[in-house]
Structure 1
């Protein structure tokens, strides 16, 4: 009987600690983070259009495309495909993505497509692409929007985020597309 009461006390202590105190502590710390821990949002005219750190699906030809997603951009189910580079299903999916990309970008060769444009990231929610991934899409986007290629290319180059110390340059696809919508 003595052990049962000890275990009940211990269970209640753990429940209070991890179901009450810990969540309140995390919530309190989040209040000091940007946007009070609700994520870094991107707004247009006061309306939130997305989150800076979560990729979104852009498949219309008048927008820049981001990386494909193994989870269809579902942030609740973040994850990769877990299929290896020798898996026949995976290889067929990548080939389908390559074929689709080449149909929409007939001016490209297969060797010119950056790998990130046809392979999903580990989380399936990568919001960024390389400058090369954006620059190869300039011709298509400019044609669809009836804009000068030079103007669209300049926009892409203005959105390149270069790391301060180490890393590779990236472009946030949502930020780029929001800026694209604001081009006249």
Structure 2
């Protein structure tokens, strides 16, 4: 805020409760979207559930041509001073959220692959063809020092009748993102999702 890290002061060592993939959907569904209806948003946690280890929360709402962040809570450390209400110009606020969502410069190969695969599956008509609800396409990046395997992209969906399914697609570092997205899209399109059901 104003060039400083607001959360670092409120919750030192806390982790962001969001990743960039939370900003990929429609603007109204993004974490910091401001509407006329107040929304309580978890800004940071301790890599744990807030009910256990606490976190920092704020209520976000749109009020005429302003966006207001108010009703701050720090359930991690009740001694930390909390900011008062913060007011933002709504047009500038929306523009900044759009700019952040469009910034892909930070992405690793697995992130770019997941983002482009999500778009390809949404554009393909796959959900309508099988009557599935696409719940998410997310990157999974394992620790490089861990022997768990390569980074993967997980495609999660819900089947008609309530079953769930997923595809786990390993991302290869030596193959172009475009080629992998094309191959993964073909794999998802060619298979019967009922066979991938849990």
**Larger helix percent:** 1
TM-score by length of 1: 0.27
In our comparison, the structure showing a higher alpha carbon Rg is 1
Higher relative CO (Cα under 8 Å, sequence separation at least 6) belongs to 1
TM-score by length of 2: 0.26
